[in-house]
């Protein structure tokens, strides 16, 4: 199994867009995970196309990184052909691993593509050694652990199942429900989280049965195990994973850079001042209140739920002064980060009946401590801002900072054609010239193909066809050339075009044939497919969670969907009761 120097874990970053991929690789990711088409748990991400993928894989490999392709949704009869095509495209396009959830797909991939490692998705629900062994027996080389596991549970799994790598989420969003066991979105909108179209129903506001505001009772805090990186490295996990394929590129770059710094230390870890700097910057880019409660063995809702506001909270600016003006409120505070005009603030303001509300505002004008109008101010400067907010301001947070964003978005660029979604040209690996015949070996991703064609050649009067001439047409391919032969350059250009066309046809044929083999295997295993979300919801709960401490109650969405919440020492079950507009007839995306 793959290990890094001194057994340090891999740093695995999200690649939800071309820009995020660039930011992750520029800031030190050992690997990225991406979607290839829509069949993955983040269908709303800017997933890669089949044509684009080999170029992204080549770019990552040139940066010394690997690419994991997520195909982590349950199979359905109507998605078999697309899933088979995606798996074949990932394999031939150069993926270093595939992240799968469906056992039938795991079996097919392990049997047909033994050179492509299979990683069991967190959607497969691996939360202990027994489940890890089951994934190993299905052909998985790695398991991506449930985010609800404690340090002791992780350590026990690593020790008891040493022949399977363990991957652990260390930063990003948490789900209220155990991954793969959430039907909340389907219940309220018909959008299936299991099939990649999560509507974030757990972030919705709810009322109790009498109609009183219940806040956001299922909205989880964000995961933060960055202070625990040294411990995770000692436990022996193989990979530290950053959640966030829907996050902006600067956020991805920021989290990647600071965990990279932590892993490169001997021993690993960040100093307290560095942790503070990281938390400052990432809070500006995107944050909710953070927690390590599951890892530390705490599962009570008070440690894991933030019912007040489910969105981006920003960086608390600390002490401030507020004064009413004719048009709003004048705020004075010390800038915790550099601020520009048009950066954003999030104000916590007083609402009716002692409640709080959150009001995002743009900075229309900045003044320094002398009252002078300026375009930007550095971190630590005294700031004066007038905002159009008449309610009493309780707290001020920096919601966006262009200076912080730019710091982490700086990145090496993918080739423009790849960024546009175009397919890369295969690489010529070898050229052989014989009298009247030219042979070429071309490669793209994992696929290698040899092509031969006749070409007029005659004894040369001067230099003839040389390695330098071959390099101009065929790049850095190894050239084996019989001496003393001349080939007309026009014939060589034609032959090059013919070689590329022949390779494209062979590449497509190889993917199509492999996809057909995978699809046949999957259809033979169709009895094992998970039922539709409609069927699952009719037979079981809308969500199963390991969060505890909820009172037995009924909660409702604004649209009238009713859920019964029952908590025990082992966790919480949320049962769909009825109401609202229900979707039926299959999963909707």
pLDDT at 582: 55
Return the structure tokens found at 447.
């696929």
CA distance 479 to 440: 9
Residue 297's SS3 state is: coil
Task: Return the bridge partners of 321, or none.
Answer: 332
Helices (H), 27-79: 53-62
pLDDT at 4: 52
pLDDT at 280: 98
- DSSP assignment of 405-451 equals HHHHH--PPPPHHHHTTPPPPPEEEEEEEETTEEEEEEEETTEEEEE
Digit-coded pLDDT (tens) for 331-386:
999 999 999 999 999 999 999 888 899 999 999 999 999 999 999 999 999 999 99
DSSP state for residue 353 in the 8-state scheme = G
CA distance 543 to 565: 10
Q: Which residues in 455-561 belong to E strands, given as ranges? A: 458-459, 478-481, 485-486, 543-545, 553-556
CA distance 153 to 546: 14
Domain chopping of the chain, boundaries: 5-175+222-271, 317-409
> By the 8 A CB rule, do 550 and 301 touch?
yes
- Please give the distance of CA 374 from its chain centroid, rounded to a whole number: 38
Task: State whether the Cα torsion 399-403-404-405 is positive or negative.
Answer: positive
Burial class (CB in 10 A: 0-12, 13-18, 19+), 282: buried
Return the structure tokens found at 398.
């920096």
CA distance 156 to 165: 13
CA angle 252, 256, 257 (to 5 degrees): 120
Phi, psi of 235 (to 5 degrees): -60, -35
Query: Counting every residue, how long is the chain?
Result: 589
CA distance 216 to 308: 6
Long-range contacts formed by 37-40: CB under 8 A, 24+ apart: 37/82, 37/86, 38/196, 38/589, 39/71, 39/73, 39/79, 39/82, 39/83, 39/86, 39/196, 40/70, 40/71, 40/72, 40/73, 40/196
Digit-coded pLDDT (tens) for 49-71:
999 999 999 999 999 999 999 99
* Helix-helix angle 272-285:249-263, to 10 degrees: 170
pLDDT at 503: 97
Task: Give Rg (Cα) of the chain.
Answer: 28
Quick one: residue 515, left, alpha or beta (phi over 0 = left, psi -120 to 50 = alpha)? alpha
Return the structure tokens found at 378.
């550095």
Superfamily of domain 317-409: Translation factors (2.40.30.10)
Average pLDDT of adjacent 10-residue blocks, the chain of 589 residues: 65 96 96 94 87 96 97 95 98 98 97 98 96 98 98 98 98 94 90 85 94 95 98 97 96 98 95 98 97 98 96 97 95 97 97 90 94 96 95 97 94 86 93 89 97 86 76 90 82 91 97 98 95 90 95 94 94 93 43
Helices (H), 69-102: 80-93
CA distance 507 to 109: 19
Residue with tokens 């080999």: 54
> By the 8 A CB rule, do 147 and 294 touch?
yes
Dihedral angle at the C-alpha atoms of 454, 456, 461, 466, nearest 10 degrees? Answer: -40
CATH topology of 5-175+222-271 equal to that of 317-409?
A: no
Q: How many distinct helices (H) and strands (E) make up the chain?
A: 16, 32
- Pick 5-175+222-271's CATH classification: 3.20.20.70, 3.30.420.40, 1.10.1060.10, 3.10.450.40: 3.20.20.70
> By the 8 A CB rule, do 542 and 479 touch?
no
**pTM of the prediction?**
0.94
pLDDT at 191: 84
DSSP state for residue 182 in the 8-state scheme = B
pLDDT at 589: 31
């Amino acid at each position: 199994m793959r290990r890094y120097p001194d057994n340090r874990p891999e740093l695995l970053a999200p690649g939800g867009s071309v820009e995020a991929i660039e930011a992750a690789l520029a800031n030190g990711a050992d690997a990225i995970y991406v979607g290839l088409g829509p069949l993955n748990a983040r269908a709303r991400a800017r997933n890669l196309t089949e044509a684009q993928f080999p170029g992204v894989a080549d770019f990552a490999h040139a940066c010394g990184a690997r690419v994991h392709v997520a195909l982590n949704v349950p199979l359905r009869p109507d998605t078999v052909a697309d899933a088979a095509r995606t798996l074949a495209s990932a394999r031939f396009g150069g993926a270093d691993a595939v992240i799968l959830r469906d056992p039938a797909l795991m079996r097919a991939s392990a049997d047909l593509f033994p050179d492509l490692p299979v990683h069991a998705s967190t959607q497969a629900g691996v939360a202990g050694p027994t489940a890890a062994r089951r994934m190993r027996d299905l052909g998985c080389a790695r398991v991506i652990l449930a985010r609800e596991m404690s340090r002791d549970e992780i350590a026990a799994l690593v020790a008891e199942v040493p022949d399977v790598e363990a991957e652990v989420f260390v930063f990003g969003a948490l789900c209220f429900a155990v991954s793969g066991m959430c039907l909340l979105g389907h219940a309220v909108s018909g959008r299936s989280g299991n099939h990649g179209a999560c509507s974030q129903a757990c972030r919705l506001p709810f009322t109790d049965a009498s109609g009183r505001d219940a806040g956001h009772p299922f909205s989880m805090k964000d995961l933060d195990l960055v202070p625990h990186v040294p411990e995770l490295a000692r436990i022996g996990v193989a990979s530290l994973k950053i959640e966030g394929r829907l996050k902006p590129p600067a956020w991805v770059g920021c989290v990647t850079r600071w965990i990279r710094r932590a892993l490169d230390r001997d021993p690993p870890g960040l100093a307290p001042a560095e942790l503070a700097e990281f938390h400052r910057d990432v809070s500006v880019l995107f944050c909710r209140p953070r927690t390590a409660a599951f890892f530390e063995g705490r599962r009570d809702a008070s440690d894991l739920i933030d019912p007040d506001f489910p969105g981006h909270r920003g960086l608390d600016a600390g002490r401030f002064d507020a004064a009413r003006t004719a048009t709003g409120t004048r705020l004075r505070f010390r800038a915790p980060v550099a601020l520009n005009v048009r950066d954003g603030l999030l104000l916590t303001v007083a609402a009716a009946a002692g409640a709080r509300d959150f009001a995002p505002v743009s900075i229309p004008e900045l003044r320094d401590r002398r009252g002078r109008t300026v375009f930007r101010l550095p971190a630590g400067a005294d700031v004066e801002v007038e905002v159009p907010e008449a309610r009493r301001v309780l707290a001020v947070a920096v919601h966006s900072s262009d200076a912080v964003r730019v710091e982490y978005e700086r990145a090496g660029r993918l080739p423009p054609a790849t960024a546009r979604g175009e397919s890369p040209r295969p690489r010529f690996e070898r050229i052989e010239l014989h009298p009247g015949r030219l042979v070429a070996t071309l490669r793209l991703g994992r696929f290698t193909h040899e092509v031969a064609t006749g070409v007029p050649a005659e004894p040369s009067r001067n230099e003839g066809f040389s390695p330098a001439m071959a390099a101009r047409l065929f790049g850095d391919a190894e050239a084996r050339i019989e001496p003393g032969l001349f080939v007309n350059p026009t014939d060589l250009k034609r032959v090059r075009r013919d070689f590329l066309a022949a390779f494209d046809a062979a590449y497509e044929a190889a993917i199509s044939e492999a996809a057909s083999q995978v699809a046949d295997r999957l259809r033979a295993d169709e009895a094992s497919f998970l039922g539709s979300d409609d069927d699952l919801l009719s037979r079981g709960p809308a969500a199963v969670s390991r969060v505890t401490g909820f009172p037995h109650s009924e909660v409702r969405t604004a649209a009238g969907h009713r859920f019964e919440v029952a908590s025990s020492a082992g966790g919480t079950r949320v049962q769909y009761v009825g109401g609202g507009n229900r979707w039926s007839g299959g999963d909707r995306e």
